[in-house]
Structure 1
Amino acid sequence: MMPVGTWWHRAGFFAVLCRNDPVLGINVWDNWDREYFGAVLSDIFYDSFSLCEDLLIPERPLDRQEIRLGEKKIYRLEQLRSLSSYEVKISYPATFPVSFYIELVDDERSQVRTGRRLLNTEKLEFSTPENVEEFSQHSRIAIEVDWHGITWKQNVTLGQIVYNIHLGRVFNGVPIESFPHIAAVLALVCFFVLATLRNELTWPFSFLISNARDENFKRQD
């Protein structure tokens, strides 16, 4: 995605560089030029960074992702459903004394959509509006990592931190993908309860009951 005004920004940037004339002694690095230079560089790096965004698709986990301390990694959201709730989860080795920061940001203004920064958390929940296409177009998941806590290892220097990231739908905080497992457990529990009430599962306890009766008879004798 190319920001508006990028080309004329770059044209102005090169025009500013042409003003640097050592013969005339023109100082190109005044305050206005420094701000302009920084804005143009941010646009250029933004273009390159946007091309390197990874896709985050529901129920398609991304394993062995790498990030450095203080670095920010951006994920673009795809194939979201309207009026649905999602959860972004991160897992990483416990041997890394780090904390992950997860944000839902707007790529146009780089503002946090949730209105708060989630610290010391490895998951983030958000809901999609009715116009999910516009939401997916302008929303990004930003991941940062910072040093946190201590480790038992001596002289640890962290390079690339490896982690896994997963995006999944949730309902009242419960992942949708876990519903079949929950239903299977509930069905099994109901089967055992009903079978016990109908005296069809007394055979596992028959051996214990017979032993208890034999001991009672021996005590009476």
Structure 2
Amino acid sequence: MFYVLFVFLLGHEWTRVAGKEIATLHPRQTLQAERLTIDGEGVRYALALPSTAGAYEVKVSYPATVPCDIVLELISQDNEVLSKSFARRLLNTEKLIFHVDARGTLEGNQPWLLVRATATGIHWLGPNIQAEGLVYNIALEPLLLGIPFEAFSLAPLLLLLIMVVFSGFYHVAAHCKHSHVCITETLGTYTDPPRWKAGATSSKREN
């Protein structure tokens, strides 16, 4: 428990691979202000996946002012590409969804994550400006029925909002109905002929 709290407070846990320190990404964790070189080798992450079958989503968000495409790849220890994201063409966001088996592996391999960026377009400061580095946030989120767990935390707020909207609609509808009845009754008093005049006319005819 204290170990998990320690990791989340510091934001990073490091794994040493081939003499290099590699950040470890845990489920329901977001690493902020990560950096990589555009058109470089990319940044590798170790994924701390539990030994249970499940689906996960890797999400990278970055400034839209930097013209680049993000590529997310799940690779094996032998650098074999197991899964790869495609250019989604969404503003400053790239995602990769994958499934692991009951051992927490992908196709029998312990997956690693590789994040790369390739330059595209023209920098907003001008055609002669080329961004060398990219600052981004990266998150690993478990999925339930294809929906990130994070979205379920907003369910109570969404339910409350729906109740408020329906309550407001009910009161407005009731008010409109009451106003319609009042207007109808008011118009009826002006359009219906006075009963005393109708009675007087009938009396004259009888005479």
3-state SS, counterpart of residue 18 of structure 2: helix
The correspondence for 2:54, drawn from 84, 88, 101, is 84
The whole-number CA distance in structure 1 between the counterparts of 2:108 and 2:37 is: 26
Q: Does the 8 A contact of 2:76 with 2:109 survive in 1?
A: no
Q: Does the 8 A contact of 2:39 with 2:116 survive in 1?
A: yes
Task: Pick the structure with more strand per residue.
Answer: 2
The whole-number CA distance in structure 2 between the counterparts of 1:134 and 1:149 is: 35
CA deviation vs aligned residue, 1:103-140 (integer Å, no higher than 9, x gap): 00002x100112xx433241111112222279998421
Q: Does the 8 A contact of 2:73 with 2:85 survive in 1?
A: yes
Distance of aligned partners of 1:214 and 1:119 in 2 relative to their CA distance in 1, 3 Å threshold: same
Q: Does the 8 A contact of 1:101 with 1:119 survive in 2?
A: yes
What residue in structure 2 maps to residue 120 of structure 1? 87
3-state SS, counterpart of residue 29 of structure 2: coil
Distance of aligned partners of 1:192 and 1:118 in 2 relative to their CA distance in 1, 3 Å threshold: closer
The correspondence for 1:177, drawn from 135, 143, 150, is 150
What residue in structure 2 maps to residue 131 of structure 1? 103
Q: RMSD over aligned Cα, in angstroms?
A: 3.2
The whole-number CA distance in structure 2 between the counterparts of 1:97 and 1:113 is: 27
**Length, aligned pairs only:** 166
Q: Does the 8 A contact of 1:100 with 1:119 survive in 2?
A: no
What residue in structure 1 maps to residue 117 of structure 2? 145
Q: Which has the higher Rg, Structure 1 or Structure 2?
A: 2
AA matched with 2:176: L
3-state SS, counterpart of residue 143 of structure 2: strand
Q: Which moved more, 1:208-217 or 1:138-147?
A: 208-217
CA deviation vs aligned residue, 1:114-167 (integer Å, no higher than 9, x gap): 2xx433241111112222279998421000000123454313320221100000
Q: Where do 4+ consecutive residues of structure 1 move more than 6 Å?
A: 133-137, 190-193
Structure 2 residue 181 is the aligned partner of structure 1 residue 213? yes
Unpaired segments of 5 or more residues in structure 1?
Answer: 1-45
AA matched with 2:69: S
What residue in structure 1 maps to residue 7 of structure 2? none
AA matched with 1:168: E
What residue in structure 2 maps to residue 96 of structure 1? 66
The whole-number CA distance in structure 1 between the counterparts of 2:51 and 2:105 is: 9
The whole-number CA distance in structure 1 between the counterparts of 2:140 and 2:163 is: 32
- Percent identity among equivalent residues? 22
Distance of aligned partners of 1:167 and 1:136 in 2 relative to their CA distance in 1, 3 Å threshold: farther
3-state SS, counterpart of residue 28 of structure 2: coil
Q: Does the 8 A contact of 1:55 with 1:77 survive in 2?
A: yes
The whole-number CA distance in structure 2 between the counterparts of 1:64 and 1:215 is: 63
The whole-number CA distance in structure 2 between the counterparts of 1:191 and 1:148 is: 45
CA deviation vs aligned residue, 1:52-89 (integer Å, no higher than 9, x gap): 21111111100011111122100001143410111100
Residue 184 of structure 1 and its aligned partner are, at CA, apart by 5.3
Give the TM-score normalised by structure 2.
0.66
Q: Does the 8 A contact of 1:80 with 1:136 survive in 2?
A: no
Q: Which moved more, 1:208-217 or 1:155-164?
A: 208-217
Q: Does the 8 A contact of 2:61 with 2:137 survive in 1?
A: yes
Task: Pick the structure with more helix per residue.
Answer: 1
Give the TM-score normalised by structure 1.
0.63
Residue 192 of structure 1 and its aligned partner are, at CA, apart by 7.8
